[in-house]
């Protein structure tokens, strides 16, 4: 019997997906010493999907100084790897514009934040001769519709008086029209793929501020206006929906770059790294998450794994910290759902070891049960 262990990400940063996978591995191997066990290359790295690719097919990290959303000098990194015989840059945006950066920032700081740093990463890859660029577009705390990123790539954005809006500011506040000629010239031989992934595992434990509804409405109205002018000038067909979060998702700006936008980041990575074949080769899959809920099912890994397992008619079990209400809604996705909570504990630092012991114990019991049925049927 071949087991595939593939934990999802945990919202509680004190719980390591990698260590959960190791605990499940230990539980299965104690019950079935001769079982084949394959662990998916889950990573808890802050560099997200690029780190998962690096773990699977290799590559080298490129360090880069850049301006973050609040115009602070930072050092970041992106992955250079080879996919389908093409040198490819893979960039994770959360280090540039992610929610962790917004901690302790004021409403005014958020209003003026810019996505300029994303464009800096793209420009660095392009000037290094890379023609394939993959953007892992996670949760953003900028509200400029991606116009800042376009500025870093040569876009000229003007206010109503015809004055050029300087870099380092949210260009959407005073933006009236845009010249993207230099952007298209720079990217003319470049293919950009955008992987949408908004299931960030980061949860702020500190008080933080948010834009007011008036500020959001103002910026959304400006984005609709300037996008329509860009559509007419460059024969595009981009129409941000009102109240859709377009000022924050940044996807519209990538559409202006004529990028290919994919809604499943993990599915793309599973395809290019050969993970799909590994998944389909297993007899039983065991995954894990905090809880089985509507929120957790937005996790790219859980959703993609359950979909492939369903196509392959593979028994799939999920281990979670807690049961929740509406449990029945997810029964059709998994063969079985097991809680690891065998006593009253909270997932705090002092309980980490207990959490992993419970995962190991439940995995051991599940493996012994599956082994018994396997022996009876053979």
Residue 349 — very low, low, confident or very high, per pLDDT cuts 50/70/90? very low
**Is residue 167 a contact partner of residue 151, using CB atoms and an 8 Å limit?**
yes
In the DSSP assignment, the letter for residue 240 is P
Distant-in-sequence, close-in-space partners of 98: CB < 8 Å, separation ≥ 6: 138, 139, 140, 141, 200, 202
Backbone φ and ψ of 168, nearest 5°: 95, 0
Condensed to tens digits (0 to 9), the pLDDT of residues 40-95 reads 766 666 667 888 888 888 999 999 999 999 999 999 999 999 999 999 999 999 89
Condensed to tens digits (0 to 9), the pLDDT of residues 232-272 reads 999 999 988 777 777 787 888 999 999 998 876 777 877 88
Whole-prediction pTM value?
0.81
Residue 15 — very low, low, confident or very high, per pLDDT cuts 50/70/90? confident
Give pLDDT, residue 13: 65
**Is residue 148 a contact partner of residue 96, using CB atoms and an 8 Å limit?**
no
In the DSSP assignment, the letter for residue 11 is S
Would you give the end-to-end CA distance of the chain in angstroms?
Answer: 12
Backbone φ and ψ of 23, nearest 5°: -65, -40
């Amino acid at each position: 019997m071949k087991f595939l262990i593939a934990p999802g990400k945990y919202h509680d940063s004190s719980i390591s997906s990698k260590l959960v996978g190791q605990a499940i591995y230990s539980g299965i191997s104690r019950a079935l010493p001769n079982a084949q066990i394959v662990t998916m290359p889950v990573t808890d790295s802050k560099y997200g999907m690029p780190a998962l690719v690096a773990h699977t097919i290799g590559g080298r990290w490129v360090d880069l100084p850049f301006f973050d959303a609040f115009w602070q000098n930072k050092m970041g990194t992106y992955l250079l790897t080879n996919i389908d015989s093409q040198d490819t840059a893979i960039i994770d945006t959360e280090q540039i514009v992610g929610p962790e950066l917004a901690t302790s920032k004021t409403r005014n700081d958020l209003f003026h934040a810019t996505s300029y740093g994303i464009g800096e990463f793209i420009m660095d890859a392009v000037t290094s001769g890379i023609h394939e660029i993959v953007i892992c577009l996670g949760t953003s705390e900028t509200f400029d519709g991606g116009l800042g990123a376009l500025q870093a790539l040569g876009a000229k954005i003007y206010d109503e008086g015809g004055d050029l809006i300087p870099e380092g500011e949210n260009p959407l506040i005073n933006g009236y029209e845009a010249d993207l000629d230099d952007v298209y010239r720079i990217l003319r031989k470049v293919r950009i793929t955008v992987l949408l992934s908004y299931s960030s595992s980061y949860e702020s434990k500190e008080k933080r501020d948010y834009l007011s509804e008036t500020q959001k409405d103002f910026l959304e109205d400006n984005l609709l206006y300037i996008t329509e002018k860009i559509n007419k000038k460059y024969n595009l067909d981009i129409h941000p929906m009102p109240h859709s979060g377009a000022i924050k998702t940044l996807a519209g700006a990538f559409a202006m770059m004529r990028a290919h936008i994919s809604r499943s980041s993990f599915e793309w990575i599973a395809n290019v790294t050969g993970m799909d074949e590994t998944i389909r080769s297993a007899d039983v899959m065991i995954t894990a998450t905090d809880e089985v809920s509507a929120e957790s099912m937005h996790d790219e890994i859980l959703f993609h794994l359950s979909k492939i397992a369903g196509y392959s008619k593979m028994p799939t079990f999920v281990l979670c910290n807690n049961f929740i209400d509406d449990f029945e809604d997810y029964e059709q996705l998994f063969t079985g759902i097991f809680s690891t909570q065998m006593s009253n504990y909270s997932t705090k630092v002092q309980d980490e070891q207990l959490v992993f012991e419970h995962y190991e114990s439940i995995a051991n019991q599940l493996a012994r049960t599956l082994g018994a049925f396997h022996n009876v049927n053979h």
